[in-house]
């Protein structure tokens, strides 16, 4: 008995049993000891079983197995859902423009002589201001649309017409001489009161002599006083003169002596000779305040109509719009102007050019579309700050669709059979015809679409 226990102990310690020794049978329910190789096999089997169970679970989740009961048509995926809505879509387009004061216009100065003073570029001139000096005489800005085309002043008087019927001035006693001749013819020696001796007999102091005396005492012709100059240019000038504070006359179309006296006072304030007349080159008319540009001549050069350019005083934007896509450019249409600092201001289309031109430097060789100039005005000049010029953007409204079904553009998916569709919340795909794209939204239509339908935004 004791040897049996010893053998079992030795076997438990790992020593092989002796030859012929009995080996105690393993009791039921007791696991025999396992070798290291068996332990690894068991680990592999457990891992394989876990993979199989996981695969079955995935297949069940995908709906590829089971008893065919109801389930989702497609596996749920991450992503947000949105509702199809009714909205008004507005297509907005941005084009490039340039901020500035517009193109310079030559100053219509008609003064002749040598330029003796010029203003600084950018100077703003108002009514009564000196624009430049020619032969040291000021050329003054006045307001109006009618250009200066003649000298203004009272006209010279005219001589009274000759009513005697004589082609030449009468000689002393001329008419009486004729009377004396008649008297002499009547008879004897006649002496007319005019002093001419007749050749006939007798003395006749009758009517001929009397008439001769009258002819010798006629008064010489007299000149009429200066006459007022008339015209719309007079009315325009007198309106400016009165606006500058020089009054004493009636503002009308007549340049009277009252106007002349007011002109002399105005000339005195300018340091000019007080002639009472306004020369052709003394003033220049413009529609209002102007901003003077860069002179085209130097001091000492001869004056001319192109000596100085000017613009208006309000900043505006000019867009070279494609002639093919300029339907948005309608006078009075509202636009949004984007400034270089990122701010936006409101603008309005003021004018659209009627002549299309090829892009500058193109010459029509690149195939670029011709453009037309579109001028945009900005009512609130203060919103521009101190910016006077520079590149800007102009955003205008193109097409507009009201009360249409719309979804975010990101909700569109490409269908295998072509076209676009939307994925519903339950995983179905419905066809969607697209319309206007605007502000990240797209117009959609289709028999399966309705307002409130939930659709998925793929991720």
- The pLDDT, as a whole number, for residue 163 is 52
Burial class of residue 159, CB neighbours in 10 A (0-12, 13-18, 19+): exposed
Q: Largest alpha-carbon pair distance within the chain?
A: 223
Q: Does domain 81-88+400-456 have CATH number 2.40.420.20?
A: yes
**pLDDT surpassing 90 at residue 13:** no
- The pLDDT, as a whole number, for residue 47 is 36
| Mean pLDDT of the 256-270 span | 97
The DSSP bridge partners found for residue 142 are: 285
Identical topology for domains 105-154+226-310 and 314-360+368-398? no
CA-nearest of 393, 436, 404 to 95 is 393
User: What secondary structure letter does DSSP report for 162?
Assistant: P
- The pLDDT, as a whole number, for residue 365 is 59
CA-nearest of 153, 154, 137 to 283 is 137
The beta strands (E) that lie in 282-362 are given as 283-286, 290-292, 309-311, 316-322, 334-338, 344-352
At the topology level, CATH places domain 105-154+226-310 in: Muramoyl-pentapeptide Carboxypeptidase; domain 1 (1.10.101)
- pTM equals 0.58
SS3 state of residue 236: helix
CA-nearest of 93, 92, 94, 91 to 400 is 91
Q: 21 in the Ramachandran plot: left (φ > 0), alpha (ψ -120 to 50) or beta?
A: beta
Kindly report the length of the chain.
459
Domain coordinates of the chain in residue numbers? 81-88+400-456, 105-154+226-310, 314-360+368-398
More confident residue, 69 or 447: 447
**Angstrom distances, CA of residue 330 to CA of 6, 14, 201, 345:** 116, 106, 103, 19
- The pLDDT, as a whole number, for residue 243 is 98
User: What secondary structure letter does DSSP report for 40?
Assistant: H
Q: Does domain 314-360+368-398 have CATH number 2.40.30?
A: yes
The beta strands (E) that lie in 308-389 are given as 309-311, 316-322, 334-338, 344-352, 371-377
More confident residue, 85 or 359: 85
Q: Could you tell me how far CA 22 lies from the centroid of its own chain?
A: 116
Name the token pair of 35: 């070798």
Question: Which pLDDT tens digit goes with each residue over 178-227?
Answer: 433 443 334 334 443 333 444 444 444 444 444 444 444 555 566 667 78
């Amino acid at each position: 008995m004791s040897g049996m226990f010893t053998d079992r102990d030795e076997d438990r310690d790992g020593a092989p049993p002796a030859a012929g020794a009995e080996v105690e049978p393993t009791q039921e329910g007791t696991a025999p000891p396992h070798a290291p190789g068996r332990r690894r096999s068991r680990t592999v089997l457990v891992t394989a079983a876990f993979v199989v169970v996981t695969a079955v679970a995935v297949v069940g989740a995908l709906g590829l197995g089971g008893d065919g009961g109801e389930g989702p048509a497609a596996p749920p995926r991450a992503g947000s859902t949105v509702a199809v809505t009714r909205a008004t879509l507005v297509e907005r387009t941005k084009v490039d423009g340039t901020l500035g004061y517009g193109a310079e216009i030559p100053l219509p100065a008609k003064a002749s002589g040598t330029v003796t003073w010029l203003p600084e570029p950018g100077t703003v001139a108002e009514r009564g201001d000196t624009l430049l000096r020619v032969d040291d005489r000021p050329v003054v800005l006045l307001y109006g649309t009618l250009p200066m085309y003649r000298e203004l002043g009272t006209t010279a008087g005219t001589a009274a017409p000759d009513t005697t019927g004589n082609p030449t001035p009468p000689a002393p006693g001329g008419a009486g001489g004729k009377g004396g001749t008649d008297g002499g013819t009547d008879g004897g020696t006649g002496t007319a009161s005019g002093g001419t001796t007749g050749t006939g007999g007798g003395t006749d102091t009758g009517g001929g002599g009397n008439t001769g005396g009258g002819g010798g005492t006629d008064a010489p012709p007299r000149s009429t006083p200066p006459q007022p100059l008339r015209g719309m240019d007079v009315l325009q000038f007198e309106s400016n003169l009165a606006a500058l504070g020089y009054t004493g006359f009636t503002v009308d179309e007549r340049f009277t002596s009252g106007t002349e006296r007011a002109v002399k006072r105005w000339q005195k304030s300018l340091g000019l000779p007080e002639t009472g007349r306004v020369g052709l080159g003394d003033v220049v008319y413009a529609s209002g305040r102007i901003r003077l540009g860069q002179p085209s001549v130097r001091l000492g050069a001869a004056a001319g109509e192109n000596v100085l350019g000017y613009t208006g005083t309000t900043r505006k934007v000019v867009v070279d719009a494609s002639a093919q896509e300029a339907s948005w450019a309608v006078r009075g249409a509202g636009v949004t102007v984007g400034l270089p600092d990122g701010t936006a201001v409101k603008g309005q289309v003021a004018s659209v050019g009627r002549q299309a031109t090829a892009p500058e430097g193109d010459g029509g060789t690149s195939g670029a579309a011709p453009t037309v100039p579109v001028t945009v005005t900005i009512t609130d000049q203060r919103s521009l700050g101190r910016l006077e010029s520079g590149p800007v953007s102009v955003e205008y409204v193109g097409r507009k669709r009201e009360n249409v079904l719309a979804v975010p553009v990101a909700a569109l998916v490409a269908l295998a059979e072509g076209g676009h569709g939307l994925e519903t919340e339950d995983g179905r795909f419905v066809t969607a015809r697209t319309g206007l794209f605007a502000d990240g939204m797209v117009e959609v239509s289709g028999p399966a679409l309705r307002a409130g339908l939930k659709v998925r935004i793929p991720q």
